[in-house]
Amino acid sequence: MNSKLSLRVRNSGLLPLKFFKDVPDGNLFIAEAGRQVPFDIKRVYFINNLANQKAVRGHHAHRKLEQAIFCISGSFTLHLDDGRTKQRVLLNDPSCGIRLGPMLWHTMSSFSYDCVILVLASDYFEEADYIRSHAEFVAAVTAADGAAGR
Ligand code: TYD
């Protein structure tokens, strides 16, 4: 990840972790709720075995859920779309995650063979919180922006 990266999409941002470099005895990365991660954590999930380099995951937004996504091994590309602005981010640094706030369409692709993705989430799994149609997502963002006079 480019250390000068800034997130232009709404409801996102960089989440640098607390980090102790103990080389050659390993590195220690720490994420604490309310500190490095801007919400209380109710759920943790991780994705490995991304053997299919053509795999594309995600393709959805969440209505209310807050998540923090980390690439703790290898690399992948995160595609973000807030309904107005799109941004592509290479995740290849375990010490810095990305906030996936509400109403942020995201897909993940171009996984390295050793990629492991870690996600911290603010709530339990709830299918009703997902928007899985991009057209529905754009309509919802447009309606919310219109109501807010943006
Ligand atoms: P999904 O979030 O669509 O995966 P991705 O965004 O990584 O492509 O979830 C895939 C399936 O797993 C879907 O059927 C819902 C289920 N699932 C749970 O049951 N609990 C969870 O916490 C998550 C993240 C997914």
Q: Summarize pLDDT for 12-53 with one digit per residue, the tens.
A: 999 999 999 988 999 999 999 999 999 999 999 999 999 888
Q: Which residue's C-alpha comes closest to atom 9 of ligand 1?
A: 58
CA-nearest of 129, 102, 115 to 46 is 115
Please give the pLDDT value at position 53.
Answer: 81
Q: What is the mean pLDDT of residues 48-74?
A: 96
45 lines ligand 1 (CB under 6 A): yes
The lowest-confidence range among 11-15, 50-54, 60-64, 113-117 is 50-54
Q: Name beta bridge partners: 117.
A: 47, 71
Return the best residue to mutate from 57, 76, 127 for the ligand 1 pocket (most ligand atoms within 8 A of CB). Answer: 57
pLDDT recorded at residue 23: 86
Q: Dihedral angle at the C-alpha atoms of 51, 17, 25, 117, nearest 10 degrees?
A: -10
Q: Say whether pLDDT at 2 is over 80.
A: no
Quote the pLDDT of residue 150.
84
Q: State the first-to-last Cα distance of the chain, in angstroms, to the nearest integer.
A: 31
pLDDT band per the 50, 70, 90 thresholds, residue 5: confident
Decide if 60 is catalytic: yes
What pLDDT is stored for residue 34 in this prediction? Answer: 97
Question: Which pLDDT value is given to residue 22?
Answer: 87
Beta carbon of 46 within 6 Å of any ligand 1 atom: no
Task: Output the pLDDT for position 75.
Answer: 97
Per-residue pLDDT of 83-103, as tens digits, reads 999 999 999 999 999 999 999
Q: Is 57 in the pocket of ligand 1 (CB under 6 A)?
A: yes
